[in-house]
């Protein structure tokens, strides 16, 4: 495993899940994400962290649960890492109704690492 190569750009996607069963069953959020990555001239070998797809989801084995809990405790490292750029998948204003999303948004906005900061709903 190890660190990603220096030529690879690193992104994280931040969005409101559709439900606990599936973050994006219709694919609308992924389509939006891909559009924003294309607008940023991302390459196929660039990397994108999507929390729902990156972590074990219930039902868990005991090992899955422990891995999930360890990952959640360390997720702040992703947003703090200087190479990470964020794509805010805010399809409507309710994206900003959760404190953790506001925290991530504020941190990455302050450090000017939001890829789609000029989008109307993101810049409002």
Entry pTM: 0.86
pLDDT at 119: 93
Which residues make Cβ contacts (< 8 Å) with residue 33, sequence separation at least 6? 13, 15, 48, 50, 87, 89
Domains of the chain, residue spans = 10-123
For the stretch 34-73, pLDDT in tens is 999 999 999 999 999 998 888 888 999 999 999 999 998 9
Distance in angstroms (rounded) separating the CA atoms of residues 107 and 36: 20
């Amino acid at each position: 495993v190890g660190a990603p190569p220096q030529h690879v750009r690193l992104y994280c996607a931040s969005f409101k899940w559709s439900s606990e069963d599936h973050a994006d069953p219709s694919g609308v959020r992924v389509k939006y994400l891909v559009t924003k990555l294309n607008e940023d001239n991302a390459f196929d070998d660039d990397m994108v962290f999507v929390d729902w797809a990156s972590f074990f989801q219930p039902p868990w084995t005991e090992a899955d649960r422990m891995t999930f809990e360890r990952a959640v405790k360390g997720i702040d490292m992703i947003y703090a890492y200087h190479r990470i750029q964020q794509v805010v998948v805010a399809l409507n204003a309710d994206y900003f109704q959760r404190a953790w999303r506001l925290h991530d948004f504020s941190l990455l906005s302050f450090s000017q690492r939001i890829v789609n900061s000029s989008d109307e709903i993101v810049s409002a």
